[in-house]
A and B are shown apart, each in its own frame.
Chain A
């Protein structure tokens, strides 16, 4: 128990230095579960708390992190026509992925948590865990080359205006992670849409553009790889090959429909996720594993997920029947494998704070996200993906759905009175 005594000894004074105390308290409660006991009400409490709930979502995301990191590197070298096999140049791809991902992760969390800490100290309550998950989600939905200052501004926007302005964890109306992404989407659209942004490490994807390596590549990693006598990053010979576009499956399908899609990508690629896209959303099996874990542990709502799958299927079938352009004719079941449907379903729509909070409402909420998301995906010419906007849209209407579910419940009760 020496450690615990040490912690207790260094506790700063709450009144004299509130910011320091808040920080201390956040780290202390992270290390040790508090010794508080029940008072009034129940005498025994469930072992589950918000920290444990949140950390399980973060754990469910880890496979996406692993794959996403590696895929950043893989896409980079595919654009250059090098190491085309998935496992070829393993260390280079991993190193490139880490060099891209780590700064994004660090900036997203330092900015977000920093704001949380400041607000917690100002309001005099403990640092709440909500941002644990937001901070893990935000890097996964960003393109790998996102400028860090834009990321920082978007995170600050989302946390301050989306969350703290409403009162903190549990009070927000819109999903924080998506809010930060939508901020970039509208404020800096060129950094998050188009064909150029999904492959990292090049100024642009015109043929012959050489790789844009930093000191981390050529200085640190190359020295390390030199010692180990393995292949190194070579900026001069790493250039975009002829005819490479960097287009995502969605972009391809928007233009050319199912045929173009199957000409450009194999189903293996689409399934396993060795395709350009946002960092964490490409690998379908790893997302599904995460989703099943969340459902199995009872953390995320299966109602929302199933509702969303159904909604997307229904809308997809309507489009198939309508069949007015190439994208509409993409078979409805293929929509699950292109774009970020699964990631949005598993981790974004199921956010308990912003989703409907009644079970019946969750079905409606999920279903409508599926419908509206596909609608936007197919009809929006500027940006061929719909889930972010659909979820934010339905976040706005979730309280309304709940309102009508509750009205129904009240009416049933009052009818007998």
Chain B
């Protein structure tokens, strides 16, 4: 007992002496004009210095490093450029959530349109026009269940002709002029509102606007390529967005690899760097770590959408050109293709697919949608992925899998080879079960959110809990990685969407 007291006393004495000298050293250093915040002065190593991750050299702004997440490494990353001839494009009204399924058409089959000509509008918001991505002839208006218009197909001209708009000078005009120009030209629908992922109301002023300049999803395109040589358009787009928001425009830059000079040199925006694994490139995760959504609405915009807005205000044309990554293990030569919004998937993949038992996905394997050769890219997709359908039985597949498959679990030897690229297929690798394993979602979602409990709140329709547990901060793409790792094979994205839809109806 006595020895213990002596021991504690000695430790206390040591601590007092060292912290005293530590403070004295700091005072001396400040007198000598050394910035103690930046340089580690003192006897103790500073705690934050020891544990906070080192920011990469190119990161000039705030740096956030996430230890959570999971990168699904897949074979078939797009590398070079190719230029298949794409003749058909489509606008899909179903891509815009919350609109009525049968929009008011402004063109008919057989009409000639220019790129930027209004195609239709939603009956609830007649001012917001949806315009054509290319020039050509409207060849078909496809209808689906309950006569909903699914695709408005345009046979494109060889050379795209743009409709010329007169645009206000953003330096002089007021906010309303910009909004008016955007809703008339179809550039307004480039914007996306969080929560709910809908086209924002005209009257809304967002608290902030967020742009992620990198994508960590499997086989996602390198967004640095999007802005190559288009610095002017990108900057103009940012300037316009700055006029639209009451707060700031936040740019999320990659802390994993050197971002393009267009991004690092962007002006008038607040730059934040994010490092780590997927889903750190998702704008939702970045919002969570910059200015989390509570009750207010914010907007998010993709890089290519910013370019469209920028070019519109630079030149008065609605240029919906998009760079699309054609990727996946079943693509013969994965490559980037320069095309326009809503390109025909059949044309994009022509003679470039190996095997026939395939899943074609507009988007990435986590949150894309199933598609086919006779369909078209979704409005916001910048990627098309082709992988094998996994409709096979495997002998003792759960115990001794022969085919390598991506997994977060360390029970698979592949965790020893983090750089291994999987082919991957669509097999569920197990049957659906009740929630059993816990802590799994939290390990891959770099947000202060408890997805499993949120899911349960949604399933039991508990609005207060849903809101409290952060449903407004999430969108399908953020939760997709949780759905991937889920041992119980639960459909988290569709549960979340159900919850978001009920929240939207309530608001």
Residues of A within 8 A of B419 (CB): none
With beta carbons under 8 angstroms apart, the residue of B401, B427, B439 that contacts A36 is B427
Known A-B contacts A35-B392, A37-B389, A130-B436; A46 and B409 likewise in contact (beta carbons under 8 Å): yes
* Shortest Cβ distance from residue B384 to the other chain A in the assembled complex, whole angstroms: 12
How far apart sit A233 and B393, CA to CA, in the bound complex (Å)? 49
Which residues does chain A contribute within 8 Å of B72, judged by CB atoms? 44
Q: Are A37 and B427 within 8 A (Cβ)?
A: yes
CB distance from B217 to the nearest CB of A (A): 11
CB-CB under 8 A for A47 and B406, given A34-B428, A53-B437, A413-B468: yes
A399-416 CB mask vs B (1 if < 8 Å, else 0) is: 000100010011111101
Q: Which of A48, A126, A168, A410 has the most CB of B within 10 A?
A: A48
Task: State how many angstroms separate the Cβ of A302 from the closest Cβ of chain B.
Answer: 10
**Using an 8 Å CB-CB cutoff, how does the interface string of A259-296 with B read, 1 for contact, 0 for none?**
00000000000000000000000000000000000001
Is residue B391 contacting chain A, with contact meaning CB distance below 8 A?
yes
Q: How far is the CA of A299 from the CA of B439 in the complex (A)?
A: 10
Does A47 contact B389, Cβ atoms closer than 8 Å?
A: no
Binds B, one of A25-33, A110-118, A248-256: A25-33
Residues A46 and B406 in contact, CB atoms below 8 Å apart? yes
A44 touches B424 (CB 8 A): yes
Across the interface, which residues of B come within 8 angstroms of A34, CB to CB? 393, 428, 430-431
- Residues of B within 8 Å of A414, CB to CB, are 294, 467-468
Chain B residues closer than 8 Å to A298, beta-carbon distance: 408-410
Number of interface residues of A (CB under 8 A): 59
Mark each residue of chain B from 425 to 468: 1 if its CB lies under 8 Å from any CB of chain A, else 0.
11111110111111100100000111011000000000001011
Nearest-neighbour CB distance to chain A for B151, whole angstroms, equals 20
Q: Is A43 an interface residue (CB 8 A)?
A: yes
The reply to whether the CB of B98 lies closer than 8 angstroms to some CB of chain A is: no
Interface-facing stretch out of A100-108, A149-157, A218-226, A349-357: A349-357
Q: Check B367 for interface membership: any CB of A closer than 8 A.
A: yes
| Residues of chain B with a CB closer than 8 A to A44's CB | 72, 218, 365-366, 387, 406, 424-426, 484
Which residues from A are CB-within-8-Å of B145? none
The answer to whether A35 and B393 have CB atoms under 8 Å apart is yes
Given A55-B399, A417-B295, answer yes or no on A43-B436 (Cβ-Cβ < 8 Å). no
Contact B453 A170 (CB under 8 A): no
Q: Is B56 an interface residue (CB 8 A)?
A: no
A122 at the interface (CB under 8 A from B): no
- Where chain A touches its partner, the secondary structure class is loop
Is there an interface contact between A409 and B410, defined as CB atoms closer than 8 Å? Answer: no
Q: Which residues of A contact B424 (CB under 8 A)?
A: 44
Cβ of A406 to closest chain B Cβ, rounded Å: 6
Within 8 A of A (CB), among B369-410: 370, 385, 387, 389-399, 401, 405-410
CB distance from B440 to the nearest CB of A (A): 9
| B354 on the A face (CB < 8 A) | no
CB of B247, distance to nearest CB on chain A (Å):
14
A49 adjacent to B429 (CB under 8 Å): yes
CB-nearest residue of chain A to B412: A47
In contact, A42 and B450 (Cβ under 8 angstroms) = no
A-contacting 9-mer, from B41-49, B57-65, B223-231, B491-499: B491-499
Closest to B430 in A: A49
Whether B411 pairs with A297 at a CB distance below 8 angstroms is yes
Q: A125-149 vs B: 1/0 string, CB under 8 Å?
A: 0101110000000000000000000
Pair A359/B439 contact, Cβ less than 8 Å: yes
Cross-chain pair count, CB within 8 angstroms = 216
Contact across chains for B493 and A41 when beta carbons are under 8 A apart = yes
A63 to chain B, nearest CB (A): 17
Assuming the contacts A42-B365, A416-B292, asked whether A297 and B409 have C-beta atoms less than 8 A apart, the reply is: yes
Interface: B191 (CB within 8 A): no
Given the complex, which residues of B lie within 8 Å of A36, measured CB to CB? 391, 427-428, 431
Residues in B neighbouring A410, C-beta threshold 8 A: 465, 468-469
Q: Is B92 an interface residue (CB 8 A)?
A: no
Minimum CB–CB distance from B181 to chain A (whole Å) comes to 34
Decide yes or no whether A56 CB sits under 8 A from chain B.
yes
CA distance A128 to B491 in the complex (A): 18
Q: By the criterion CB–CB under 8 Å, are A359 and B365 in contact?
A: no
B363 to chain A, nearest CB (A): 9
Interface residue? A50 (CB, 8 A): yes
- Scan B479-495; emit 1 where CB is below 8 A from any A CB, else 0: 01001111111011110
- With known contacts A35-B392, A357-B439, A409-B450, A48–B295 Cβ distance under 8 A: no
Partner of B405, one of A42, A47, A126, A353: A47
B368 within 8 Å of A (CB atoms):
yes
Report the bound CA distance from A50 to B359 in whole Å: 25
Give A38 to B438 CA distance when docked, in angstroms: 22
The 3 closest A-B pairs by CB, nearest first: A49-B430, A33-B397, A170-B434
Contact surface of B with A, Cβ cutoff 8 Å: 72, 218, 292, 294-295, 359, 361, 365-368, 370, 385, 387, 389-399, 401, 405-412, 424-431, 433-439, 442, 448-450, 452-453, 465, 467-470, 480, 483-489, 491-494
Write 29 A-B pairs (CB below 8 A) sorted by A numbering. A32-B393, A33-B427, A37-B428, A38-B426, A41-B480, A41-B494, A42-B365, A42-B493, A44-B366, A45-B427, A45-B489, A46-B486, A46-B487, A47-B401, A47-B406, A48-B412, A48-B430, A49-B430, A52-B411, A53-B437, A129-B433, A168-B434, A169-B434, A170-B433, A358-B438, A406-B468, A410-B468, A413-B469, A414-B294
